C-alpha cells in the first residue's frame, strides 16, 4: 500500500498514524518475523530497520539490536525477503525500510530501490543521507515509485527546511529534538514549535519520532502532527525478554507484551476522535 493511501484512509477515520519501528533480524530472523506480524496488526505503518554496523544516528538501544541481528547473520537480502513475507500477509500496512547509506550504496542504489519495489516496500529512510547527497537515490526512487522520506531536525533552518520538503515524499520524519534515538521522560518543548514550522511548508504528512515511548507521548504529539514514530521503546521490549545467551526466554510472553504495548500506542492516535465524538 502506498503511504499516501494510508494517510488518506486515516484522515477519513479521523485518526493519526502510529508508526512502529523494529529491527529486522532482532534477536534472530524467526522471532523478528513473528514480532513484525504482531506489530502489523496494530501499527498503521511499519518501519523495518536493516541493521548496520555503525548506526550513528541511533542510540545504544537500537545499536544493540543491530548487533544482535548482525551476529545472527541478518543481512539486507534477508530483510527484503522478510518484507516480502509481511507484505503478503499485511498488504494494507505500508512498510518502509530504515537503513544507513552504505548498505544501499553497496547493493547499488538502483538495484536496492528496484528490489524494494518488488517486495512491496513503500518508502525508504536513510538517516545519514542529507539532500545534498541524495540526488541519484531520489531519481531511482522516483523511477520505481518508492517514497524517499527525509528527516528534519530542530536545528534545520527554514530555508533548508523548504528545500528538504520539496524533495520529501510519503511523509516527513521530524526529529523531535537534537540527539540520537532513545526514550525520554518528557517531550521537548521545542517539538511543538518545530511541528508548526514544518507544517507550514510541508505538502506531505508530518510525523514525529525520537523520544516517544508511551501512549501519552503519542497523544500529545498527534495533537499537532499527522503521526508518531516509536522505535527504541519497542526495541526495549526485546531487550527485556532476552536471556544471557541473547535468546528470547519465553516467546509467547514476549509477543504478548509487544502486542499489548503497540495496541496501547495505537490507542494514543485515536484520542482526538473520541473527543470529537463526545462533543457531537
Partner 1 sequence: MKKYKEKYPDKNGKFGIYGGKFVPETLMPAITELEEAFNRFWINNEGNFREEFYALLRDYVGRPTPLYYAERFSEELGCKVYLKREDLAHLGAHKINNALGQALLAKKMGKKRVIAETGAGQHGVATAAACAKLGLECIVYMGAKDVERQKLNVFRMELMGAKVIPVFGGSQTLKDAVNEALRDWTTNVRTTYYLLGSALGPHPYPMMVREFQRVIGKEIKEQILEKEGRLPDVIVACVGGGSNAIGAFYEFLDDDVELYAVEAGGKGVETGMHGASLCAGEVGVLHGSKIYVKEDEFGQIEESYSISAGLDYPGVGPELSFLKDEGRINAVYITDDEALEAFQLLCRLEGILPALESSHALAYAVKLADKLDKDDIMVINLSGRGDKDVHTVAKALGREI
Check if the beta carbon of residue 173 is closer than 8 Å to that of residue 207: yes
Helix (H) / strand (E) element for 239: namely helix 232-240
Q: Please tell me whether residue 156 binds partner 1 under the rule CB under 8 A.
A: yes
- Please say which residue, 134 or 255, places its beta carbon nearer to partner 1: 134
Check if the beta carbon of residue 120 is closer than 8 Å to that of residue 87: yes
Q: How many CB atoms lie within 10 A of CB 162?
A: 13
Catalytic pick from 15, 26, 44, 58? 58
Distance, in Å, from the CA atom of 10 to the CA atom of 167, rounded to the nearest integer, reads 23
Q: Please tell me whether residue 242 binds partner 1 under the rule CB under 8 A.
A: no
Q: Please tell me whether residue 150 binds partner 1 under the rule CB under 8 A.
A: yes
Scan for cell 532476552, then name that residue.
242
Q: How far is the CB of 173 from partner 1 (least distance, A)?
A: 9
Distance, in Å, from the CA atom of 100 to the CA atom of 130, rounded to the nearest integer, reads 11
Cis peptide bond upstream of 31, omega within 30:
no
Give the x-and-dash track for 212-241 against partner 1 (CB under 8 A).
Answer: ------------------------------
Chain-centre distance of CA 148, in angstroms? 13
Interface residue with partner 1, options 84, 179, 199, 214 (CB under 8 A) = 179
Q: Please tell me whether residue 246 binds partner 1 under the rule CB under 8 A.
A: no
Interface residue with partner 1, options 152, 198, 206, 271 (CB under 8 A) = 152
Only one of the segments 88-96, 156-164, 211-219, 268-276 lies at the binding site for partner 1 (rule: CB under 8 A); that segment is 156-164
Only one of the segments 26-34, 116-124, 172-180, 258-266 lies at the binding site for partner 1 (rule: CB under 8 A); that segment is 172-180
Interface residue with partner 1, options 4, 114, 130, 239 (CB under 8 A) = 130
Q: Is 257 a catalytic residue?
A: no
Q: Is 58 a catalytic residue?
A: yes
- In terms of Cα–Cα distance, which of 228, 57, 153 is closest to 161? 153
- Torsion from C-alpha of 90, 92, 98, 104, nearest 10 degrees: 90
- Please say which residue, 24 or 268, places its beta carbon nearer to partner 1: 24
- In terms of Cα–Cα distance, which of 24, 21, 171, 41 is closest to 93? 41
The residues assigned a catalytic role are 47, 58
- Residue ranges that bind partner 1, judged by CB under 8 A: 52-57, 59-60, 63-64, 67, 70, 75-77, 100-107, 127-130, 132-133, 150-157, 160, 164, 175, 178-180
Amino acid at each position: 500500500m502506498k503511504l499516501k493511501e494510508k494517510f488518506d484512509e486515516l484522515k477519513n477515520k479521523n485518526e493519526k498514524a502510529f508508526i512502529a519501528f523494529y529491527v529486522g533480524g532482532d534477536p534472530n530472523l524467526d522471532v523478528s518475523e513473528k514480532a513484525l506480524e504482531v506489530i502489523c496488526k496494530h501499527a498503521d505503518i511499519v518501519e523495518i530497520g536493516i541493521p548496520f554496523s555503525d548506526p550513528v544516528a541511533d542510540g545504544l538501544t537500537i545499536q544493540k539490536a543491530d548487533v544482535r541481528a548482525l551476529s545472527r547473520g541478518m543481512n539486507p537480502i534477508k530483510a527484503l525477503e522478510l518484507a516480502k513475507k509481511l507484505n503478503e500477509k499485511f498488504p494494507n500496512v505500508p512498510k518502509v525500510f530504515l537503513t544507513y547509506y552504505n548498505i544501499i550504496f553497496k547493493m547499488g542504489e538502483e538495484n536496492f530501490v528496484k528490489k524494494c519495489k518488488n517486495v512491496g516496500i513503500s518508502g525508504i529512510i536513510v538517516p545519514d543521507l542529507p539532500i545534498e547527497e541524495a540526488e541519484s537515490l531520489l531519481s531511482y526512487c522516483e523511477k520505481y515509485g518508492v517514497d524517499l522520506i527525509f528527516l528534519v531536525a530542530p536545528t534545520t533552518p527554514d530555508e533548508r527546511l523548504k528545500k528538504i520538503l520539496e524533495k520529501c515524499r510519503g511523509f516527513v520524519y521530524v526529529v523531535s529534538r537534537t540527539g540520537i534515538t532513545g526514550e525520554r521522560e518528557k517531550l521537548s518543548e521545542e517539538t511543538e514549535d518545530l511541528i508548526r514550522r514544518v507544517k507550514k511548508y510541508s505538502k506531505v504528512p508530518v510525523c514525529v519520532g525520537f523520544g516517544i515511548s508511551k501512549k501519552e507521548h503519542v497523544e500529545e504529539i498527534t495533537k499537532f502532527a499527522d503521526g508518531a514514530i516509536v522505535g527504541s521503546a519497542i526495541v526495549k521490549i526485546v531487550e527485556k525478554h532476552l536471556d544471557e545467551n541473547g535468546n528470547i526466554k519465553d516467546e509467547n510472553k514476549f509477543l504478548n507484551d509487544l502486542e499489548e504495548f503497540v495496541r496501547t500506542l495505537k490507542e494514543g492516535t485515536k484520542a482526538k476522535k473520541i473527543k470529537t465524538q463526545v462533543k457531537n
